């Protein structure tokens, strides 16, 4: 049986980012060349809004397709319920392998260590921290892999 070739899907979650901070939206400073190139070559949504202005609740909405009040993550610091179906579950049902890289902000805020596997939203590959500001700084980027081992990334956080 041959697998049908499907497109790769990359979803970017950014926090408190104004619409005009990327080149693809008209910013002339050249701050986001990789993001701009990917947006121009793929599918990019230009006219969107969020029903949640705060990080954790906004991520809960984007991961689940549900309102933050419905999923229970209506403010920062409330973990995503472990039975919540996320993008990972839906993509896996479609035959995709899934991975999450970066800031999660949907687990327990009490720990600066690795996110427990059951709290990772069902992703197959993991290189993330719940709160990057608790595990790293601009030039000392630390995230955790599938096994919960710390991984230090080189250089400036945004470039890593």
Catalytic residues: 55, 105
Contact call for residues 64 and 52 (beta carbons, < 8 A): no
Residue 82 main-chain phi, psi, to 5 deg: -65, -20
The secondary structure of 58-95, three-state, reads HHHHHHHCCCHHHHCCCCCCCCCCCCCCCHHHHHHHCC
- C-alpha Rg value of the chain to the nearest Å: 16
């Amino acid at each position: 049986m041959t697998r049908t070739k499907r497109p790769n899907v990359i979803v970017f979650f950014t926090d408190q980012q104004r619409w005009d901070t990327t080149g693809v939206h008209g910013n002339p400073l050249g701050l986001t060349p990789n993001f701009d190139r990917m947006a121009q070559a793929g599918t990019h949504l230009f006219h969107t809004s969020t029903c949640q202005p705060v990080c954790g609740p906004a991520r809960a909405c984007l991961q689940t397709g549900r309102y933050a009040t419905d999923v229970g993550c209506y403010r920062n610091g409330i973990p995503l319920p472990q039975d919540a179906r996320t993008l990972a579950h839906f993509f896996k049902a479609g035959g995709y392998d899934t991975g999450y890289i970066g800031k999660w902000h949907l687990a327990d805020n009490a720990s600066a260590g690795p996110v427990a596997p059951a709290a990772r939203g069902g992703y197959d590959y993991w290189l993330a921290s719940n709160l990057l500001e608790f595990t790293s700084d601009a030039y000392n980027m630390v995230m955790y892999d599938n096994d919960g081992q710390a991984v230090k990334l080189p250089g400036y956080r945004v470039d890593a």
